[in-house]
Amino acid sequence: MNRQRLQSWLLRVAGSVEILAFGAVLMPRSWMAASHAWLGLGEMPRGAVLMFMIRQASYVYGMHGILLWILASDVARYRPPIRFTAFSFLLAAPVFLIIDHTAGLPLYWTVSDTAACAFFGVSLLWLDHGDAGHNK
C-alpha cells in the first residue's frame, strides 16, 4: 500500500472516530452522567454552560470528522489542508496535555489524548513527506 493510500486510510479512521461525537449532541443527560461515572470521573456536574460546551464541542468534532473524510477522498489535491491538519494536531498534543492535566483528568485520559494527537500529526506528516515530490 502506498503512502497516499495509507494517509487516506488514516484520515478516514480518525474521521470515523470524530464522527462518533455526533452522538453526544442529542444524547440524554442521564447517559452522559453514566458515561462520566463509568470513565472514573465521578459525578457529572450540572449546568447550562457545561451542556452547551459538551453538545457544541461534539457537533464541531463530528463536523471535523466529516472534513477528514473529504480530505481523504483526494490526498494529493488536499495536501495543504492535510499538512495544516497535521500541524494542528501536533500543536494540540502539548495544549491538550496542559488542559487535561490542569483539569484534573485521570492519567490514562491525559496520556491517551496527548499521544493520539501526536501520533496522528506525526503520521500524517511522515506519510506526506514520502510523497512530497509526487502529485503536486
Mean pLDDT by 10 residues, the chain (136 residues): 92 97 95 93 92 95 98 96 97 98 94 97 90 50
Q: Are 92 and 115 in contact (CB under 8 A)?
A: no
pLDDT at 20 (0 to 100): 97
131: exposed, middle or buried (Cβ count in 10 Å: 0-12, 13-18, 19+): middle
pLDDT at 136 (0 to 100): 43
Give the position of cell 493520539.
116
User: Looking at residue 44, what DSSP letter applies?
Assistant: P
Domain ranges of the chain: 3-130
